[in-house]
Amino acid sequence: MKILDFYRYLDKLKSTKREGWIADGIMDSESVADHSLSVATLSMILAPRLKVDRDKIIKMALIHDIGESIIGDVQWYTPGKGIDKKVLAKKEKDEGKAVRKILETLGDDEYLKLWEEMEEKKTREAKIHKEIDRIDLALQAYFNEKRTGKNLTRFFDFTDLFISEPLIKEIMKKIRKNRKKSEN
């Protein structure tokens, strides 16, 4: 195990800003590491209600964006244009290489297998993890709107495209309701 090499990637995530916020002029928003912590915490809290393995989904949350320490936070969705399939395919390929390189430093296949499970989205934990990842985006957009006064509707609309779990949909509904209250 090469903990120093592995930690170098974690350290990079702390200074890697999320590109969607930067594109909207929110320069003082979260880093990728901040986002991963939020997703892990939401996973910890929601896992029992969603009936998923808590430890597994927390691990997924902690490693889900680790490849961004090498490739950066790549934007593959544009409002009005949708998903750029070329950009998404390149991101997925590059991220796969990056994650393998990073997780090799641990000398243990457990985390690589977990990451591959997330990418395949076949297990309940992998599917739920992705929805928690999306709801974190909506929650952050809600708080960024309150803090900056900017209209961040595109992040809420994007989140809606990817959630189907009833509890996550209910959370989204509450976010939208609180947004409307804030507008009045």
CATH assignment of the domain containing 35 = 1.10.3210.10
* pLDDT computed for residue 17 by the predictor: 92
pLDDT score of 184:
57
Q: What is the pLDDT of residue 78?
A: 72
Instruction: Determine the straight-line distance between the first and last CA of the chain, rounded to whole angstroms.
Output: 55
Residue 91's pLDDT is: 83
Going by the DSSP 8-state scheme, the letter that residue 149 receives in this structure is -
**Domain encompassing residue 103:** 3-183
C-alpha count within 13 angstroms, C-beta hemisphere, residue 169: 6
- Residues of the chain where predicted confidence (pLDDT) is lower than 70: 79, 183-184
Q: What is the pLDDT of residue 50?
A: 98
Domain count for the chain: 1
Beta partners for residue 78, in sequence order: 82
Looking at residue 181, its pLDDT comes to 79
Contact 105, 6 (CB under 8 A): yes
The pTM for the full model equals: 0.91
